[in-house]
Chain A
Amino acid sequence: MGMVAELERRQSAMELHIINSIQQSLDNNQPLSFQALASLRSLIINPATPDSTLSSVLDALSRSLQLNRDPVFLHHALKLLSDLASHRPHLSPFALDLLRSDSLFSSASPRLVGESLSVLLSLASIGNDIDAARFVSLCLGPSVSVRQCLLRNAEKLVFRESVLLAVFLGFTRDPYPYVRKEALDGLVKLCKNGDFDDRDVIEGCYCRAVELLRDAENYVRSAAVRAVCEWGRLLVICSEDMNKQDSSDAVFIQLGCMVRDMSVDVRLEAFEALGKIGLVSEDILLQTLSKKVLGINKDKAFKPVEGLDISASAVAGAYIHGLEDEFSEVRMSACYSLRTLTVFSLRFACEALNLMMDMLNDDSTVVRLQALDTIHHMATSNHLKVEKIHIHRFLSALVDSSSVIRSMTRKILKLAKLPQFKLFKLCIDGLLGNLEIYPQDEADVFSALFHIGRNHGKFTVHIIEEVSPEMEPASGGKLSFDSTRVAAFLVLAISAPLSHEKDVSAIPPRIFSYAVTWLGRISYGLSDLMNQEKLLAYLSECSRSSTISLADFKINEALLTVESDAPIPLCSKVDSPVSMPFWKDSGGTSDYHHQEFLSLGKSAAHAEYELGEHSELRKYVNLIFKKVKDFWSLVELGCTTEAFKGIRACKEEVASFTADSPGSSGAVAFTLQYLQVIGMLAKVWGHLRPTKMLNPYGVGKLELLFAKLDRRLREISNRFIGLSKGEELQILDLVLVACLLRLSKMEICCCNAAMKLLLSTVAHVEYLHKEGSIELSNFVTEVKKSLHDADSSSSSSTCKPLLFKKLLDSFSLQQFVLYGTPRYIHAELAVPSNDSENPLPFIPGIPASIPLAITLHNVLTESRLWVRISMSEESTQFVFLDLNLIRNEKRSINVVREFTFVAPFYRTPKAISFTVRASLGLECFRENIDRVKVFGGPKCELTYLCPEKEIFLCKSTEC
């Protein structure tokens, strides 16, 4: 204790001494010696120095700055100030003020200015210190390093795009290669964030970038490749519709020329860029897989921009070269970018598959894995056509020494649909071989066998017939032969009854009883499909009769159609395909999951069971969301029809799902709803966004579209419970986009309402943001910012279509990731024994009673439900349904309520018979009704939970 005090005393004495000596020399108008500066520095970086001392240090520095203008001294002073500002955040304002003083920041020496600028930048406190004119004049100065620093940080200094564009474009002519590189990088950033629709500018930048593809320096060429890609994409967007394909092809070819560059970095960039150009015609794609120039491309030349002619032959064999590149990074990047392109053409996918199969022989594991991932991707997008010559090569991956490779291969096999028995047999043999060499894979091999058997019922039966002697117990009643092998065949056999094919019931029932003896191991392998009890039930059921009807057996429900599962996320980010893979499932949310189930009053065991079952489905659903994101980029490119096609295909895929297993319906319904929202959004977007084209739809039609979109959005945001905050935020993003779209179109904009909704949504977003500490998307931040700006600038700022249009540019669809299991709120409404033949009785003028049999799914007690009964548009009435008053007749685990509710219908007409339409609506709290309030009706907009039910009434004859 005493020693510490002693030390402190000594230190403060030393500080005092330093400060005093400095003060003294300053009082004598002597500049500070370097030694003094050094001791000052020691004070500054010592964390024990008290603030009071530092204030006097600052004071001394500011005085000495006025005294001394020697550049070397100024340089040291600058360093001291920057140290001070970074070590003591609370003193940094004073330090920064000094930095900005005349002698440093505004000094005539560009080097000092550059240094102080980089200090200011590193402290992230550049404000309005530098205006456009000063920026430009500094850039134009002779100091190259200052120029480079300024260019690199230009976007932090926020200027008008036009200034930045001029500066960046100009400096692509600089004789210093690093300046050229920074200028190109700047152009890329500008292109990503900016809003350009002047074709001259776009062409200018594109051409300049193309010129720099031939630069002597590697890093300039890499930057040029990026710039060509980004500006090229912009060029495609701004092309007229009939030229879009051609310009897109031309940009693709231009980038394809770079895959033979001698620099690895350039090649990497080139493949990355190739994958980003979405729309490429099939001929060109096929050309990339052949080093010989294809006949069809012999004389094909493109001219995207005047003076930039390029021939299709330039891209010949681009992928061949990429896939046999010396560097595994390049090979991986090539595999990855192929993956995105196979979506567009089946023929291309088939040819690419050939190459991918060859890549399975690659010496690098990551490349092999990426190749398998690409194949898996093809399989999930239905572009996988396995042929016999492939199957050997493919199956050899099953005996690969790397377990990741093997598991990925099995994953693909689970999806396979094989046309011939021969191929099927080869696959089974391959799996058996796998099992033999790597017994540790047993569980997954069983799972693969089960899936593959289920997908090929007839073949399975056939193969079981062949091997049944092997499976019969030898003398002594023991299954002794080759235990694991027999087990494998048993797994295959028991999958047959679940096949989707007809008449596959030829598996002898005793096989199922044999399987029971392996119950533990088999159920371990099939744990992703069913638990042990279920399996046992299933097996005993099957062993009892040879012809079982699965209709009354509930197993099929439990077995979700595992048509697909999400591929292993090989690459953590889409932008960098060469980042090392991580083999971690994107799960890790089970805690959240758990809670959700518990809150719904379920037993934990049940929740756990469901969890296992649904992870498969969730993976699949998330894969769909991933695809949707890809489609959205097509929408942004202006190819709405193509995107729409894709979305529709997704919808069909999701719809084909057997959704009746408990809990899965929510996820399926949610996905469908999401697809519908995106579809509508794409439709509206397609009609509002491209200004080049005349809107084919009139305002009226557009209004209808908007109404539909609103309804969909309302449904998705209100009819699902159990969404996490992050998920909810993503949906709110979409609501915001819809609002902005509406606001950006003057003709259809009902300004106040839309603005109100916008504001309330933003408020809700903010609330969620605060609650859950979730990162907001860039788009939302933009919207918030500009709303805030608009708010503060003027009050009459509500309708600014241009502002909203600009905001829309910052929107990019994020990939939706479903973590939990959303519950779908829906209801069934029926009137027992009522049809046009058997109408309900009524007496004209007197209220009629309508008995409604209502089933509610997942409706929370606190939600406000309304029964809407309408005869015509004018005579609509709402009846409030108080859930607290309703006795829950049958409380089930699924939170299903069934009850009968007698609704009165007041305004019966004077007629002999009439029909009314009834439906159930849920009040959405966030959206207030804009129109004149219906007396006694709901205060907010309703989301309808069931289709309208027609009810027939007839004048009572009894009275």
Chain B
Amino acid sequence: MAIDCLVLGAGQEVGKSCMVVSINGKRIMFDCGMHMGYTDSRRYPDFSLISKTGDFDNALTCVIVTHFHLDHIGALPYFTEVCGYKGPIYMTYPTKALAPLMLEDYRKNMDRRGEDEQFTSDHIAECMKKVIPVDLKQTVQVDKDLQIRAYYAGHVIGAAMFYAKVGDAAMVYTGDYNMTPDRHLGAAQIDRLQLDLLITESTYATTIRDSRYGREREFLKAVHNCVAAGGKVLIPTFALGRAQELCILLEDYWERMNLKVPIYFSAGLTIQANMYYKMLINWTSQKIKETYATHNAFDFKNVRNFDRSLINAPGPCVLFATPGMIVGGFSLEVFMQWAPSENNLVTLPGYCVAGTIGHKLMSGKPTKIDLDKDTQINVRCQIHQLSFSPHTDAKGIMDLVKFLSPKHAILVHGEKPKMATLKERIQSELGIQCYCPANNETVTIPSTHYVKADASGTFIRSCLNPNFKFSTHSSTDKSYLDSNKSKAVSRLSVSDDRATEGILVVEKGKKAKVIHQDEILHMLGEKKHEIQFAYCIPMPMARTEDLSSTSHMLCGFDKSTLISRLSMILSDELSEGNILDLGEELQVESFRVSVCSSDNCPHRLSSSLQNGSESVFFCCNWSVADEKLAWKIISIMKNSTL
């Protein structure tokens, strides 16, 4: 079995995330985004690659959307309403709630710019009807074989990573995520799963970010200094996410520093979004969840609604205004009024699209901005650039990959050269096979397949009881070998042999079965064979004996005396093993030795026959396991006299 991943978007680029994964016969589309940078056909993923005939309902098992950003959901109404996909769509509750706002906002902007409408309000509404919402860590059985589960991803409210499992093959698609918490969202959180594949974003594949505290401090300092000097602060943001984060930050600071300067939200989307946030407490950070019972963090105490008449009201204030990047609308209106005063401050997000006023302000410090032919804005206000990002950095990606330790990893949603660097790191540091495919490429990786096997009663019983063994695991340190002083490094280690006592038997036409090792002979109807070695060696008698006595030596010394003499010799020379004197026989582990009285013992080597009268023959036998020991004993016997 294999997992095929077809990259329809966000392959070696940022934008229009879309990935179709075939896993054990099921086909899941993860995300259905649009590219904001294009207005032509490149804006949407090439859905024709999924099905030439356009029969998407049979080609796909389900669509999963991770969060409400347009590059992850933007193409969804188009796909469902225009292309005609009617199958199930899964997303989290907040995503389902907030996505229509985002889509509608986008549609209106398109309208305003006079582009062709790709979908209508009705399309959005219809599309949303097909969505099945899921909760965090809720396991959803999509069909008989496919299970999906959402995990918290940080990033924006409602963002989730999705785990999908078909049969024995399992994978995780992260979407966008953040491994560090911010003021309103927690860090990504996932269980330690057994995964064949992890598909992760890699927006910051090489960046390692500092602590967010520094960035927060800079921001607060700039704002505080401005309002303390009586200035006005304009914070142009998008309605969702950043606005709430910054507002919580300011609110907390206001509270602590006992500031009374008003904070305003421009009417419209932001207020509506705040209402949603208030309801979606369960998806926010720990702190907000904890204090929610006493005070809902989105119930901003110091925040008031803004009114156009307040633009030129005297006194300091802070204003959140949409849209971000000052692309137009209300934020532009306010900016035009406030920019000429050097007391005022404008904070800009870390990233502004080229062509917007935000971008112009960030590149250099212009004193004049030409809005159109007739309007020119004098810019004397202070500019502060925010560098918050809801994406994880390179270390976060590495940490997640390390924690999950999947068998394979695929990087998407990033820039090609940086992804290559990260890929190298994952392969070399973590030893995980990693890919970063381009758009419209397919990556195939093998998947796990488990074989079900019966187990015999004996094996199960033996598994119930612990059966651990201690061993002194020893390895010889190579570096000492040269100096002839081989130093053995030994360490106590413990192993549990329950499973290794089992033997997997696969008979033709039958189900595989695990049996206990003791059962194997019975099952095969075979006998147990053991290899035994035997050797009959002569041992010279000591010469101190009177010659006359040698003649009746064999009769004179009974066998047990000889054995006990041998035992004494062995116990002097042999350092290991436990020597047992059994009267007529000596036993060291499986090695047995006894006096051989038969003259033509089959184990006797004829060449070793010496003056028979002076030697006693000992018959030895041992099993293969103790071979080393046996030869040690034999060499002792050869080199000593009785």
Residue numbers of A with Cβ under 8 A of B are 139-142, 147, 166, 169-175, 200-201, 203-205, 207-208, 216, 260-262, 291-292, 305-307, 316-317, 320-321, 323-328, 355, 358-359, 361, 363-364, 392-393, 396, 399-402, 437
Contact = CB atoms under 8 A, between A and B. Distances in A.
A401 B491 contact: no
A271 to B, nearest CB: 16
Nearest to B194: A216
B285 A139 contact: no
Contact of A321 (B180, B285, B495): B180
A139 B466 contact: yes
20 contacts: A140-B465, A147-B466, A169-B470, A170-B466, A170-B496, A174-B496, A200-B490, A200-B491, A208-B493, A208-B494, A260-B402, A262-B189, A262-B192, A291-B209, A292-B208, A317-B395, A325-B187, A358-B217, A361-B216, A401-B257
B466 A174 contact: yes
B216 A173 contact: no
A305 B491 contact: yes
B258 A364 contact: no
B213 A355 contact: yes
Nearest to B288: A363
B213 A361 contact: yes
A359 B216 CA distance: 11
B489 A326 contact: no
B49 to A, nearest CB: 35
B181 A325 contact: yes
A365 to B, nearest CB: 9
B557 interface: no
Interface in B376-423: 393, 395, 399, 402-403
Nearest to A402: B256
Contact of A291 (B210, B461, B470): B210
B395 A291 contact: yes
Given A170-B468, A200-B472, A327-B286, 15 more contacts: A140-B466, A141-B465, A169-B470, A170-B494, A172-B494, A173-B468, A175-B496, A200-B490, A203-B491, A216-B192, A261-B403, A325-B181, A355-B213, A361-B253, A401-B257
A945 B216 CA distance: 62
B300 to A, nearest CB: 14
B364 interface: no
What 6 pairs across the A-B complex have the smallest Cβ distances?
A204-B492, A358-B213, A326-B181, A173-B496, A142-B464, A170-B468
Contacts of A208: 493-494
A670 to B, nearest CB: 43
Interface in B174-231: 180-181, 183, 186-187, 189-192, 208-214, 216-217, 220-221
A205 B403 CA distance: 23
B475 interface: yes
B287 interface: yes
B342 interface: no
B255 interface: yes
Contact of A262 (B190, B213, B461, B470): B190
B217 A361 contact: yes
A140 B213 CA distance: 53
B252 interface: yes
Interface residues of B, number: 52
A401 B489 contact: no
Contacts of A401: 255-258
Nearest to A257: B402
Contacts of B210: 291, 320
Contacts of A170: 466, 468, 470, 494, 496
A260 B400 CA distance: 9
Contacts of B258: 399, 401, 437
A654 to B, nearest CB: 38
Contacts of B466: 139-140, 147, 170-171, 173-174
Contacts of A292: 208
A405 B287 CA distance: 19
A170 B490 CA distance: 18
Given A306-B475, A306-B491, A317-B395, A358 B214 contact: yes
B491 A363 contact: no
Given A170-B468, A174-B496, A437-B258, A306 B213 contact: no
Q: Which interface residue of B253, B286, B402, B492 has the most chain A CB atoms within 10 A? A: B492
Nearest to A170: B468
Nearest to B190: A262
Contacts of A317: 395
A491 to B, nearest CB: 24
Contact of A363 (B221, B287, B489): B287
A842 B201 CA distance: 101
Nearest to A166: B470
Contacts of A399: 257-258
Contacts of B209: 291
Contacts of B395: 291, 316-317
Nearest to B214: A358
A141 B281 CA distance: 48
Given A141-B465, A200-B472, A260-B399, A324 B192 contact: no
B493 A207 contact: yes
B494 A204 contact: yes
Contacts of B208: 291-292
Nearest to A389: B217
Given A262-B191, A306-B491, A361-B216, A326 B475 contact: no
Contacts of B252: 363
A405 to B, nearest CB: 9
Nearest to B290: A328
B67 to A, nearest CB: 18
B491 A204 contact: yes
Q: Which interface residue of B464, B470, B491, B496 has the most chain A CB atoms within 10 A? A: B491
Given A201-B492, A324-B211, A393 B217 contact: yes
A292 B211 CA distance: 12
Contacts of B464: 142
Contacts of B214: 358
Contact of B403 (A171, A204, A260, A323): A260
A260 B285 CA distance: 17
Contact of B285 (A216, A261, A326, A355): A326
Contacts of A358: 211, 213-214, 217
Nearest to B216: A361
Contacts of A207: 491, 493
Contact of A324 (B212, B253, B399, B403): B212
A324 B286 CA distance: 12
Contact of B489 (A204, A306, A361): A306
Contact of B187 (A326, A359, A364): A326
Nearest to A289: B211
Nearest to A216: B192
Interface string B474-515: 010100000000000111111110100000000000000000
A321 B403 CA distance: 15
B326 to A, nearest CB: 28
A140 B467 CA distance: 8
Q: Which interface residue of B192, B285, B461, B495 has the most chain A CB atoms within 10 A? A: B192
A396 B253 CA distance: 10
Given A291-B210, A358-B217, A200 B492 contact: yes
A400 B286 CA distance: 23
B42 to A, nearest CB: 36
Nearest to B255: A401
A262 B472 CA distance: 34
Contacts of B221: 392
B181 A324 contact: yes
A139 B467 CA distance: 11
Nearest to A321: B180
Nearest to B394: A291
Contacts of A173: 466, 468, 494-496
Given A174-B496, A204-B491, A316-B395, A323 B213 contact: yes
Nearest to B224: A396
Contact of B287 (A201, A260, A328): A328
